[in-house]
Amino acid sequence: VVLQEMPGDFPFSVRDVVMMGRIPRREGLNGWTETDRERVQHALSHLDLSHLAGRQFATLSGGEKQRVLIARALAQEPRIIILDEPTNHLDIRHQLEILELLQTLKLTIVSTLHDINLAAEFATDVAIVTAGRLTAFGTPDAVLNPRALSTAFGVTATAHGTAVAGSARFSFSLPRQGSIS
């Protein structure tokens, strides 16, 4: 599980935090194995974090912290990963890099994404939850449409382009309540 944020007041290095992902793989109180170190280095490299391995986690930017938490999850070698807003705090480049990396993994990924356009482009299935209830589920092309989005979020949703191969883009505005005099 990768939450949106992790408390950063502990004196752990980036490598320490990623190594924590290996704890479920340890046998008893044995130390870290060469396999543990290799998996951690692989995760650090995949997320472009090797140069930060010695830095204190608390000193990182929000986006760097998020990438470290994803690296920690990947170091665990999970079959299923649950991500709560994995692109939170990331700049556009790192948002795309993380989502493209996740697409290449051979595991089940469940994620919340509040960015509708990223969900439309990267998700294989989408669920819309309104007031704690599932209101729609299916492929992005089937579920992400102006009517469903307008109803779910109380906004006016407009589609730009087509829904073929994730090319639909949405813009949102508040519904007009009347003019101000």
Residue numbers of the domain that contains 125? 120-181
Mean pLDDT for the stretch of residues 1-17: 83
Same domain? 81 vs 23? yes
Domain boundary among 59, 77, 112: 112
Mean pLDDT for the stretch of residues 15-24: 95
- For the chain, what is the domain count? 2
Q: What percent of the chain has a predicted confidence (pLDDT) above 70?
A: 91
Domain boundary among 81, 112, 143: 112
Mean pLDDT of the chain: 88
DSSP H stretches of helix in the chain: 14-19, 34-46, 62-75, 92-104, 116-122, 140-143, 146-153
Q: Which of 67, 70, 78 is nearest to 106 (CA)?
A: 78
The DSSP result for 69-104, as a single string, is HHHHHHHT--SEEEEESTTTT--HHHHHHHHHHHHH
Same domain? 87 vs 138? no
Question: What pLDDT is attached to residue 72?
Answer: 95
Q: What is the pTM of this model?
A: 0.80
Mean pLDDT for the stretch of residues 27-36: 89
Question: What pLDDT is attached to residue 178?
Answer: 55
Same domain? 93 vs 138? no
The CATH number that applies at residue 69 is 3.40.50.300
Q: What is the pLDDT of residues 36-72, one digit of tens each?
A: 999 999 999 988 899 999 999 999 988 888 889 999 9
| Residue 81 token pair | 């990963």
Q: In which band, very low, low, confident or very high, does the pLDDT at 181 lie, cut at 50, 70 and 90?
A: very low
Query: Residue 80's Cα: distance from chain center in Å?
Result: 13
Backbone φ, ψ for residue 74 (5° rounding): -70, -35
Same domain? 127 vs 107? no
The Cα–Cα gap between 156 and 158 comes to: 7
Same domain? 137 vs 66? no
Question: What pLDDT is attached to residue 9?
Answer: 73
Amino acid at 181: S
Same domain? 130 vs 104? no
Q: In which band, very low, low, confident or very high, does the pLDDT at 26 lie, cut at 50, 70 and 90?
A: confident
Same domain? 26 vs 43? yes
